[in-house]
Amino acid sequence: MLRTRTTAALFSSLLLLLSVALVQAQTRPFRVGSVAPVDLNPATGSNDPEVMFNRMIYDYLLDVAPSGDIVPALATSYDISSDGLTYTLSLAQNAVFHDGTPLTAADVVYSFGYLKEVGSPALNLLGAFEVTAADNYTVVFLLTQPNADFLFGLASNWSFILKNGTTAPNVLTEGANPYANFNGTGAFILRDYKPNVSATFTRNPNYWGTPAALETVEMIFIQDQQAQIDALKSGTVDFIYKIAYDRLAELEAASGVVTLVKATNQHPVIRIRSDEGHLGADVRVRQAFKYATDREILNLNLFNGVATVGNNDPIGPLYGEFFDPTVENQPYDPARACALLAQAGYPDGIGAGDPLPFYIDDSFNYVQMAEFLQQQWAEACINVTLLPRNPGDYYAGDANTAEWLNVELGVTGWGSRPTPQQYLVEAYVTGASYNESRWSDPELDALVAEAGMTADPVTRAALYSQIARIFAERGSIIVPFFAPIIGATREGVSGLDMHPFPGRTNLASVTLDS
């Protein structure tokens, strides 16, 4: 009898331990390893960790699925007038902010007014509009001219919905609730934030949509890519993204790791400052850099040919009919590059005695790419010295415009966008927010504007072909390739569909196997 009691007690203890273990397994945090965000403002933060941080807390009116399709979010439906000038959106009627305040159309009106107030990059794609509340759950946008990409503007990385009257979004406060300004309708609530260390989010129990499967998500900020990989291999984190292609084999060989590879329009932009008084103001210099760059060899050396070589513009082959494969680009011809530089007033080339500083966004394998470029360009009378910059500090909008928007020569990584128009209006028309090279071309501006108003895909494709030819002839950038996005998870992670712009990956659908 004593033995029976002991066995029963032991069995009960084992059941208790198993129950505790299952609860711990089900509720342990899902951990994302990434570089630290710099600009937390939902209307201006542009990098992947910034967008991911804000996506946890806030919702969009419309979302862009990993497929590139527009899908409903806080706006459950929309209607577009026949003239393309009026967009009427119906809002979810059960959404509430984290502080318990119900969402209404007034919040949407305020949020898009706030984008205008701070000069958000979202305005590049939204264009000119006015927004009003027809009633508590109906919003009307009135455009001054048709905008074929307006829905993508409503779903842009920055178009998060704030509570009406929010004046300091994502600003820490003193007192008992330091996260009062981190107040969205999103699937997660910010519970702890240590700048440059980590951010912890818990499931929103009052979420208006399908509740998140995860109880807790932690963003662990790790600046070094190898350290991110080591953290994944050791199980310290569950998901990393934007990994250089040359690390893929290491991840594939690692025990307990699942690699993720997705074709995207992600690309590096090699840009030459081209406004008056700067190196690239002379089109012959811009052409020389193109003749000095062997894009096919870069693809082979850096990606074993897996990346895609396109034209020297941001419209990649992934955009289908909008990409024109017949555009004639400059072949690698160092002698011709030297001759063009001599004609432009550089008989000894550029940087012969004092190498030109070449600023590089130190992410993916861009520094390795720059090392190859340094060798190629030296054969073409262009001598540079490499200056890598941490991506968390370097490509951070207003945080570092002294370098980012002012250097003579640099490389910036550009993530995938759902529509090619977004690149053009953000970075290449005169006065665009991210016009890194300061290039201004009235013909290009007019074509981009026309493409933005053109819904017919055939007509639009013809406009993009003209735009691609302008980039080839006199553009201020070199786009050497379009690369896949590489990420990885631990085994046991399910429901994660990595977005082409990884910061927009929806973690609400992720589960962890017990």
229 and 283 belong to one structural domain? no
353 and 229 belong to one structural domain? no
Write the CATH number for 209.
Answer: 3.40.190.10
Q: How many CA atoms lie within 13 A of 100 on its CB side?
A: 0
Rounded to two decimals, the pTM is: 0.86
217 and 297 belong to one structural domain? no
Q: Is 247 left (phi over 0), alpha (psi -120 to 50) or beta?
A: alpha
Write the CATH number for 64.
Answer: 3.90.76.10
The structure tokens listed for 433 are: 């927010």
- Give me the DSSP letters along 6-58: HHHHHHHHHHHHHHHHHHHHHHSPEEEEEPPPS---TTT--SHHHHHHHHHH-
CA distance 453 to 456: 9
For 69-121, how does the pLDDT look when each residue is reduced to its tens digit (9 = 90+)?
Answer: 999 999 999 999 999 999 999 999 999 999 999 999 999 999 999 999 999 99
For residue 4, is it within any domain? no
Residue carrying the six token digits 């090279």: 437
234 and 337 belong to one structural domain? no
**Rg of the chain (C-alpha set):** 25
310 and 435 belong to one structural domain? yes
Give the domain extent around 59: 48-154
Q: State the CB neighbour count (10 A cutoff) for residue 443.
A: 11
For 314-340, how does the pLDDT look when each residue is reduced to its tens digit (9 = 90+)?
Answer: 999 999 999 999 999 999 999 999 999
- Give me the DSSP letters along 320-363: GGGS-TT---PPP-HHHHHHHHHHTT-TT-BSSSSPEEEEEE-S
508 and 409 belong to one structural domain? no
Write the CATH number for 378.
Answer: 3.10.105.10
CA distance 130 to 140: 8
255 and 284 belong to one structural domain? no
224 and 291 belong to one structural domain? no
For residue 256, is it within any domain? yes
Per-residue pLDDT in tens (0 to 9) along the chain, 514 residues: 333 333 333 333 443 343 334 334 446 999 999 999 999 999 999 999 999 999 999 999 999 999 999 999 999 999 999 999 999 999 999 999 999 999 999 999 999 999 999 999 999 999 999 999 999 999 999 999 999 999 999 999 999 999 999 999 999 999 899 999 999 999 999 999 999 999 999 999 999 999 999 999 999 999 999 999 999 999 999 999 999 999 999 999 999 999 999 989 999 999 999 999 999 999 999 999 999 999 999 999 999 998 999 999 999 999 999 999 999 999 999 999 999 999 999 999 999 989 999 999 888 899 999 999 999 999 999 999 999 987 644 444 555 667 888 899 999 999 999 999 999 999 999 999 899 999 999 999 999 999 999 999 999 999 999 999 999 999 999 999 999 999 999 999 999 999 999 999 999 999 998 6
Domain count, the chain: 3
